[in-house]
Structure 1
Amino acid sequence: MIKKSLNIASKIKSLKNRAEGITYHLISFYFKIGKVLFNYGDTLESKKMIKNALNIALMYNESYTKCKIYLEISKDLLEMKDQKLSNKFLNDSVNIASEINNKDLRIEIYGKISKELMIRGQKKESFSIISKIEDVTENSKAYIEVISVLVSKGKVGEANLICSKINNKRFISEAHLTIVNELIKIGKKRESINIASNISLGLERSIAFKNISKSVKYPEFSFLLKQIMSQPNKSIFITGFSEYIKESNEIALDVYPYLYNLSEKVQNLSNILFYQAKMACFFEENRNEEKLDMLSEVLDIKDWRRISA
């Protein structure tokens, strides 16, 4: 009897989970249709779809999924210019998040909410949510997420200040690396050099300098190289640029300035030769066998030559 009861309970739970999954997708479906209609200017039908989605969402009981739904609804409503209702669902998601019993799921949601609040410029509220995350690792990750948002908005100074809120040395370096990567995206390469130079951990600092060097062409590379004071950092920067050349599929990339000015960096020459071999085998219209013979003396490219012949 007990075994039978357990089987029945298991089936009920399975059906409940399946029903919740269907409900989640139904809400998502209504919202997607509503957004499409909104984008096509059919606001009346769009509102009907959104209303259907909201009615279903309001009946949802399970806290974690409900919170996820509310957060997504809030984002969608903001896209559809309904800021008042969007803010309501975002605020409601904060309240619902506190009811999530599973610590890991609660932390996950707090991280997403804090980032969304920062995107909307609600810094105080964002930090308030992060303060609820007691786990040091997850707390640091949440700060890094909001740091990326601030830098993408050009608020580098504020992002740097937030780094001081992080207590873990490794995550401080990751936060600075995040700033570097975001600065690269918005074209502020010189500023990224300054941040990269101050990264305390070697791995993150190496990644930062390589990421910068892989985002520029030679003239800018040469200019930025002069801004780097540390010789080890210069070497990493040069290596990163040679790797950029190696990985490039750009036809007729001018590698001669590199070869002329940095030929003493023999450890990186194989990257340049690799690029030249790749171009000669697969990209150049007129195949130069003499050039390939010379490259074959220092690189194993026999398979490339056979495939491309």
Structure 2
Amino acid sequence: MDKKIGFLSFGHWRDVAGSQTRTGADALLQTIELAEAAEEIGVDGAFVRVHHFERQLASPFPLLSAIGARTRRIEIGTGVIDMRYENPLYMAEEAAVADLISGGRLQLGVSRGSPETALRGAENFGYVAPEGSTPAEMARTKTEIFLQAIQGAAVARTDPERTGGVSGGLAIQPQSPGLAERIWWGAGTRATATWAAELGMNLQSSTLLSEDTGVPFDQLQAEQIRMYRDAFQGDRTPRVSISRSVLPITTDVDRLYFGERGEADQVGLLEGVRSRFGRTYVGDPDRIARELAQDEAVREADTVLFTVPNQLGVEYNARILSTIAEHIAPAIGWKHPDAR
């Protein structure tokens, strides 16, 4: 399978000097415009992060539906939706609508979510983990309900008083055929990757792994991917995506913003757990291409998402994506759609 590439945007906005996204409207509209530009370049996917209580993208389905209506080929998705905040049945309706509008291009990443500024943020949305259950377990339970709903399971009953005494099951509407095979779990450990495989979901391997075995990040991530594939339940070939922070330096402006040197892997405590963070690639595009080609997890994955500095605007980020498509992605096995 040829590799696919996409961009991943956090959708930050700040009314500060140098920012091209001063408002929430700027972030939303520019994300749509960047997706259109990425499709023109040949990029395969437009993905957005979801964070609540932050000046970042938060409600993905209106945005994904708008991108789906304005594009024709590019995959649209999330990386990831924090299921602690979601009503799984309402989300099943929204996901089906976005998928139908896009013609079946939705690639929906879901998970427990990442550390956040809000204290027990999901509780402010009305969702409290049942007694004896953790927030992570609540997220997984909601995901299982969501998966059942988008596969047409009966999740409600008819009212006999309105159906002439007939009682039966009701599924969420609309349904979008094939959507269940395009749900991804954002896994931060090898164990949750295995759980996702057993449920038949695709895998989005996080750039923040909440475990550390002492090996470099790419090797730990590659091990997670192999364990996931070994555990996968289903009669199809699952997909695996990873994300990488890549900032090619081709102009003096790039050099001013990002310098010449990237960051190495980082190890630290996150919520009391020793965790490993992926590195940032900065520098000459040809050098980055050689380094990414040696990245063990990049070799294992079929999809690589490149994070973009969205506050620098559509034109700047389109140029970064064009450089990645021309000079970096071919080295990891990607081909322009016209060449496939």
Q: TM-score range by the shorter chain?
A: under 0.3
Structure with the largest fraction of helix: 1
TM-score (norm: length of structure 1)? 0.28
Q: Which has the larger radius of gyration?
A: 1
Q: Which has the higher contact order (CA 8 A, sep 6+)?
A: 2
TM-score (norm: length of structure 2)? 0.26
Structure with the largest fraction of strand: 2
